Structure 1
Amino acid sequence: MDDLHFVEDRHHPARPQGQLEAIAAVATPVGEGALSIVRMTGEGVLAVADKVFRKIDGDNFSFASCRSHTAHYGRFNNLAGELIDEVMAIVYRAPRSFTTEDMVEFNCHGGVIVTETVLQTLLEAGCRLAEPGEFTRRAFLNGRIDLVQAEAVGEMIHAKTQTAYRSAISQLKGDLSLKLGSLRTELLNACSMLELELDFSEEDVEFQSREALSARLSAMATELEALANTFRFGKFVKEGVATAIVGRPNAGKSTLLNALLGKERAIVSHVPGTTRDYIEESFVLDGVPFRLIDTAGLRLSDDALESEGIRRSYEKITEADLVIFVHDATEKITEAERTEILALRKKSAHAKFFIVANKIDCVTGAPNFANAPDEQEHIEVVPISALRREGLSELRQKMKTLATGLEKLNEGSLVITNQRHFEAIKNALERLQVARELLIEGAETELIASDLREVLHQIGSIIGKVTTDDILNNIFDRFCIGK
């Protein structure tokens, strides 16, 4: 069944007619290396390539007459005919290319000067410099990929773990698109039936059973809710587990950061207040990325710089997925510190919270945790010596429990890693619930149809069936130039 006009026409940008203007960019990181790739796409790129490329032993060679997906060895010259480099030119004829337009890639020698010179020559020959993500944007606009797949390209490039990479590959293959597309088709059918009822409202005709519609909407809500619930893991995969290391000055926070990282990242000193601002570093623990944030020691201070660092520390605590409160085990937990711990726990209610009793190597006998919050307050105490690396294995194991469930990615389960997708699914769920309640109440068909249209809009916005320029700009501006 064709898509409904009241959704598509209102939001979808016009599709390009034919090929767009020629653009060019460097597709590989700029620097010294064996090879660099400079690529161009769009109308007239074959003619541009003919201006600058001379095939060795091919006097009558022309890109316009050669087959797609062929490689050619030759000399890349500037517009004055002077040699710039010997290159391999690879041609992709429309529509058999990433953008579905004519494309030519030049594989030149790596190096900043030669790469920039090749690119500058193409710009002088008739191309303009590509904007960030413009190649991928054209692939989307020309129907080569949908919006989820376009975003997956960026996520695959920036993946820092195998788990993140697998998630991006799953979305690039179209697994999420297929799931959402199936739900969207069902919604289109339901909306169409309701629209027909509105067209025949005077005859009081019911084209679909309200009981059957309610059951199907309930099943859709279950599927969307299951997707939304994966976002917690998705954020961990994409951004890492935000881990705030907090506590009083000189408790060993920076020593713990260095111990977990396995390198001397933070300055360690016996002088309280050494850390004036937070330090952020990442490490991967058995495939789970963690973002460690070493914060300034929590205390009252007359120093303006230290006070600002402490204020930022509290901000990081509220944003964290995991809070590690470092306590000096050589001292008793005072009532004031206990009150402070409970206040921090309340401030970060959504986060996992540990007390790490540090410096146990300096304690004679068993450490005294008599005044520590207990497990009834959902706070565990983990004794360690960050300096001597004692107890770190147990701490790491407890940190990993926060990401229990990430193994689902290995089984091919769909996981939402994108904030935009999560917000759209959440909005769709809210309107779906409203539509279900209206059905139960026996509300007018127009009211039910209105909410289902909004559900359709939210799901369509994820895969790109319903888009705005603002959405596209926000997505592709984050890409590097050349992709």
Structure 2
Amino acid sequence: MNDTIAAIATPFGSGGIGVIRISGSKAFDIASTLFSKRKNRPEGSSILESHKIYHGYIFEPETRDIIDEVLLIPMKGPRSYTAQDVVEIQAHAGTIVLRTILDEILSLGARLSEPGEFTKRAFLNGRIDLTQAEAVADIINAKTASSLKFAASQNLGTFKNEIQDLREKLIHFLALLEVNIDFPDDVEPFEPSPKEMGLIDDVLGKCTEFIRQHDDACFLKEGIRVTIGGAPNVGKSSLMNRLLEQDRSIVTAVPGTTRDPIEEGLNIDGIPFVITDTAGIHQTDDLVEIIGIEKAKDHITRSDLVLFLKEPGTRFTDMEFEKVVPLEYQSEGKAIFVINKIDLDEGDLPKLSETYQHIPKVEISALLNIGITELKQKIVNICIAHLDMEKSSVVPNLRHKKALEQAVESLKLVKTGLAQRAEEETLAIDIKHSIDSLGTITGETASLDILDSIFNNFCIGK
């Protein structure tokens, strides 16, 4: 971590401004060599004051040719993103000009950064913890205003502070145990007070609540999976295109046009969804169609909500509904009965039997955009009706959830041990396990494999 790294920090392509970031002990020297405040007879600037914006030019040291007009921002560590010396160069955003400037920087002793290395240095230097580092990626990848809100809260250290508070309570309890283990003759036998027992209950309850928050709101990062299913040629692809307001799926009058599932992201009222159009489910001897139908069924079983499509004037039985919608979805209200093509006068509308009267029904015309707003609202209401997002300040990710589950498991062993008057050494082992599990969330006890896994998912330059 003693070397100097550099990278283009903005996406490749043409634009107004492109940013190149340098971090490390040579950052100021490299910038001084390449930057000139004047374009006539450019020469390096020996004095760069921290946290000031300089207007000038980046030039090629050997030929003195100007490469670009830039703004240069030097930031002396530890008052920088990485807590090292950092220089950011704001140039015109073009692939060639940014690459040329970066090549000059690399030629002066810097190396190209690895994915996420700037944020990793910020973590290793103690400027941020691991939850804040993950929040940086969540902010970049936020799909909705809600997911951005939770990521920003986590980036400010909200989740870190909560976890540190829980660890401190457990460390206090562990200290009581350690005294009895190390000095058994000098203290009374271990007998935790109701207040100290309450510490374990408080931590256990909070960990369980964080796990629930993940289960309830992880869709803000991943999207709620909605699958459109039904027989061939009932308008599944037309509905997909209408929901997306673009021609994503191919629509023809020929049954079986859609073979492979087609996925696309959709934002409804600030909630992210992943909509999937699938092959029509029916009896067939066509091998390709059979494969498409199996894929459709697989997507349906992995989705959070199924839109079962049917059209008027066709024979319909509960068996057809049951072939498409899994049993658990029928009972838990994870399906919507969508009747399409109501603009056509083709007979009576299909009806579900008394057994399935609890399944919500929406009548639409995907072609004429009739009932689509009602369908979207019904989708949102079903998916988030049980959630109270205003009470949640953070949404733990899957890594956090697994660590919390490990902590809960250890704390339950502690409670059992206390009830059965287990040895202090046994209780201390379980308390330490729970402390370590919570420490992996903030990075205090995280392994190198965990760190590599997290930061390798970042883009280069962040």
TM range (shorter): over 0.9
Q: After superposition, where does 1:89-238 map in structure 2 within 5 Å?
A: 89-201=72-184, 205-206=188-189, 209=192, 211-238=194-221
Whole-Å separation in 2 of the counterparts to 1:471 and 1:102: 26
Give the superposition deviation at 1:41: 0.3
1:247-297 deviation line (CA, Å, top 9, x unaligned)? 121121111111111222111122121111011111111111111011111
- Shift, 1:210, TM fit: 5.3
1:470 matched to which residue of 2? 449
Q: Contact between 2:313 and 2:347, CA under 8 Å: does it hold in 1? A: no
2-structure distance, mates of 1:348, 1:443: 47
Alignment RMSD (CA, Å): 2.3
Superposed CA deviations along residues 421-463 of structure 1, whole A, max 9, x for unmatched, are: 1121122122212221221122222222211111111111111
Opposite residue 480 of structure 1, the aligned amino acid is C
Q: Structure 2: which amino acid aligns with 1:205?
A: E
Do the aligned partners of 1:231 and 1:422 also contact (CA within 8 Å) in 2?
A: yes
Give the Å deviation of 1:25.
0.2
Query: In 1, Cα distance between the equivalents of 2:313 and 2:215?
Result: 37
Q: 1:196 to 1:351 in 2, by over 3 A?
A: farther
Contact 2:6 2:106 in 1 (8 A): yes
Aligned: 1:426 with 2:405: yes
Query: Alignment partner of 1:237: what SS?
Result: helix
CA deviation vs aligned residue, 1:70-118 (integer Å, no higher than 9, x gap): 1222221224133212222210011111111001111112211101100
Name 1:381's counterpart in structure 2.
361
Q: For structure 1, which runs of at least 5 residues remain unmatched after alignment?
A: 1-18
**What secondary structure does 2:405 align onto?**
helix
Partner of 1:481, secondary structure, is: coil
Equivalent residue runs for 1:324-473 within 5 Å = 324-341=307-324, 344-346=326-328, 352-363=334-345, 366-371=348-353, 373-375=355-357, 379-401=359-381, 402-404=383-385, 408-409=389-390, 413-473=392-452
Cα 1:349–1:466 shift into 2, 3 Å: farther
Which residue of structure 2 aligns with residue 30 of structure 1? Answer: 12
Q: Distance in 1 between matches of 2:330 and 2:159?
A: 32
Check 1:394–1:74 CA distance in 2 against 1; reply closer, same or farther (3 A cut).
Answer: closer
Q: Does the Cα contact within 8 Å between 1:383 and 1:391 map onto a contact in 2?
A: yes
Compared CA separation, residues 24 and 349, structure 1 to 2 (3 A): farther
Distance in 2, matches of 1:181 and 1:115, equals 41
> CA 1:243–1:335 in structure 2 vs 1: closer, same or farther (change >3 Å)?
closer
Q: Percent identity?
A: 38
> How many angstroms does 1:304 deviate by?
3.1
| Residues 264, 373 of structure 1: alpha-carbon distance in 2 compared, 3 angstrom cutoff | farther
**Which residue number in structure 2 is paired with residue 9 of structure 1?**
none
SS in 1 for 2:343: helix
Q: Name the CA shift for 1:438/1:207 in 2 (closer, same or farther; >3 Å).
A: closer
For residue 15 of structure 1, what is the aligned residue in structure 2?
Answer: none
Question: Which residue is equivalent to 1:12?
Answer: none
1:43 is aligned to 2:25: yes
- Distance, in Å, in 1 between the alignment partners of 2:318 and 2:334 is 22
Paired amino acid for 1:268: V
Shift of 1:335: 4.6
- How far, CA to CA, are the matches of 2:363 and 2:42 in structure 1? 77
Give the match's secondary structure for 2:15: coil
CA contact 2:18–2:91 (8 Å) conserved in 1: yes
Provide the C-alpha distance between the structure 2 equivalents of 1:459 and 1:431, rounded to a whole number of angstroms.
11
Amino acid in structure 2 at the alignment position of 1:471: I
Residue type of the alignment partner of 1:318: T
Check conservation: 2:154, 2:394, Cα contact below 8 A: no
**CA distance 1:368–1:209, shift in 2 (3 Å):** same
**With structure 1 as the length reference, what TM-score do the two structures score?**
0.89
**CA distance in 2 between partners of 1:122 and 1:422 (Å):** 41
How far apart are residue 380 of structure 1 and its match? Answer: 2.6
Distance 1:73 1:393 in 2: 51
Matches of 1:196 and 1:174, distance apart in 2: 33
Amino acid at match of 1:382: V
Instruction: Return the alpha-carbon distance in structure 1 between the equivalents of residues 322 and 38 of structure 2.
Output: 79
Is the 1:255–1:266 contact (alpha carbons within 8 Å) kept by the matching residues of 2? yes
Q: CA deviation at 1:336?
A: 3.1
Distance 2:161 2:116 in 1: 24
**Letter of the structure 2 residue corresponding to residue 446 of structure 1:** E
**SS of structure 2 residue aligned to 1:70:** coil
Residues in 2 aligned to 1:309 and 1:326: alpha-carbon distance in whole angstroms? 17
2:50 is the counterpart of 1:71: no
Contact (CA 8 Å) 1:284, 1:290: kept in 2 or not? yes
In structure 1, distance between residues paired with 2:105 and 2:43? 21
How far the C-alpha of 1:28 sits from its partner, in A, is 1.1
Report how many aligned residue pairs link the two structures.
Answer: 459
How far the C-alpha of 1:148 sits from its partner, in A, is 0.6
Alignment CA distance shift 1:406-1:133 (3 Å): farther
Corresponding residue of 2:237: 254
Higher mean alpha-carbon deviation, 353-362 vs 27-36, is at: 353-362
Contact preservation (8 Å) 1:327, 1:356: yes
1:82 aligns with 2:62: no
State the TM-score, normalizing by the size of structure 2.
0.93
Cα separation, 2, equivalents of 1:240 and 1:351: 19
Post-superposition offset of 1:346: 3.2
After alignment, is 125-134 or 360-369 more displaced? Answer: 360-369
Structure 2 unaligned residues grouped into runs of 5+:
none
- Tell me the CA shift for residue 302 of structure 1: 3.1
**Deviation of 1:351 (Å):** 7.4
Structure 1 pair 97–339 and aligned structure 2 pair: CA distance change class (3 A): closer
Kindly provide the amino acid, as one letter, of the partner of residue 448 in structure 1.
Answer: L
